[in-house]
Amino acid sequence: MTTVQVAPGRRLTKRQQTRTAIVDAVLHFGSTRGLDATTVREIADEAGIGARTFFRFFSSKEEAVIALDEDFFTAILEALDEQAEGLSLSEFFLGAFEAAAAQFDQAWWTRFAGASRLAAASPTVSGIALNLCGVTAARCADALRPSFSTIAQHEFDLALDGVLNAWRRAREAWLESENLDPAAFHALVRRNLRFLETTPLLKARATASG
């Protein structure tokens, strides 16, 4: 059975433990023999659950691969609400990114890297991940727009696209490197966002949302 890693100072519920065990089992089989050659029954057995329980959490093996992306995006969206006024859009996002990243331990980051590589190697998973990115981008726009109401809509959209692309490019570079320490990922995100700060559009500051 897969061992569930618990973040420091944080106790997982039974449901969270089961979800993590499923994800770990999917990543194990995906990296050793491939998703196509693995059945849901095998994944369920590895996670110590029944096949019916698997489908209470995920609709497919592929969906389970991007569960960690969903966790991270959710944490970023929650952290967006805690950012201060007076920040640029890239600073706003960087603060949310770093607040979200701090919630996860090293074991989680190791799984995240494995899931990201598995997703990149599977067109089906990549498609699901792309859809999740689109949904997340829309939710980010909804969360950020009130704080940047002084920027024209088309300018805001372009700026946010740049910020989200900086994150995606940083993750690609991180996964291609030999250093999968989360600190290296953070450094790449900061580097890309600081580069964006050189463009006038990204210098607009957040104001009170009313």
Q: What is the pLDDT of residues 119-133, one digit of tens each?
A: 988 899 999 999 999
Across 64-73, average pLDDT: 94
Written out in words, the top-level CATH class of the domain with range 14-61 is mainly alpha
Asked if residues 141 and 152 have their Cβ atoms less than 8 Å apart, the reply is no
Mean pLDDT calculated for residue range 172-181: 90
The per-residue pLDDT for 7 is 46
The two counts, helices (H) then strands (E), for the chain are 10, 0
Q: In percent, how much of the chain has pLDDT > 90?
A: 63
What is the distance between the alpha carbons of residues 50 and 70, in angstroms, rounded to a whole number? Answer: 24
* Class of the domain covering 66-203: mainly alpha
pLDDT at residue number 3: 37
User: How far is the C-alpha of 202 from the C-alpha of 199, rounded, in Å?
Assistant: 6
- How is the chain split into domains, by residue range? 14-61, 66-203
- Asked if residues 25 and 2 have their Cβ atoms less than 8 Å apart, the reply is yes
Residue 153 CA to residue 140 CA, distance in Å, equals: 14
